[in-house]
Amino acid sequence: MIVEDPLMTETPFPSVRKDTLPEGTHYRDTGCNLHPACLTCPRAVCKHDELGDDSMRDARNAAIIVSLAQGRPARHTAAQFGVSVRLVYRIGRAARERAA
């Protein structure tokens, strides 16, 4: 017995308001410290895609772990480092799992 799915009888992608699509958004191209605009940058690889950013992130995560170990609340740590509270909890959990 074949049962039809009532959702499949409609179009798979309903209409969306034009102003909600990201294509209609005007993003500011602020570039970085190497070039004033991303879209005209002559570099083949973006500086944010290079391996160096991983070490900056690792240093930030280590500082977050120290802050949590000192007993600072997650919301204060998140505000200090400019990240979400959820990210602070994930970093703390990952550190505890590595230590176990």
Q: Is pLDDT at 63 greater than 80 in this prediction?
A: yes
Report the distance separating Cα 30 and Cα 36, nearest Å: 6
Question: Is residue 55 in some structural domain?
Answer: yes
Question: Is residue 24 in some structural domain?
Answer: no
Question: Is residue 20 in some structural domain?
Answer: no
Question: Is residue 41 in some structural domain?
Answer: no
Report the distance separating Cα 61 and Cα 55, nearest Å: 10
Range of the domain at 57: 49-100
Report the 10 Å Cβ neighbour count for 22: 6
Question: Is residue 27 in some structural domain?
Answer: no
Q: How many domains does the chain have?
A: 1
Question: Is residue 4 in some structural domain?
Answer: no
Contact 28/35 with Cβ under 8 angstroms?
Answer: no
Of the two residues 74 and 16, the one the predictor is more confident about is 74
Question: Is residue 86 in some structural domain?
Answer: yes
pTM of the model as a whole: 0.50
Question: Is residue 99 in some structural domain?
Answer: yes
**pLDDT single digits (tens) 5-38:** 555 555 566 666 665 656 666 778 888 888 999 9
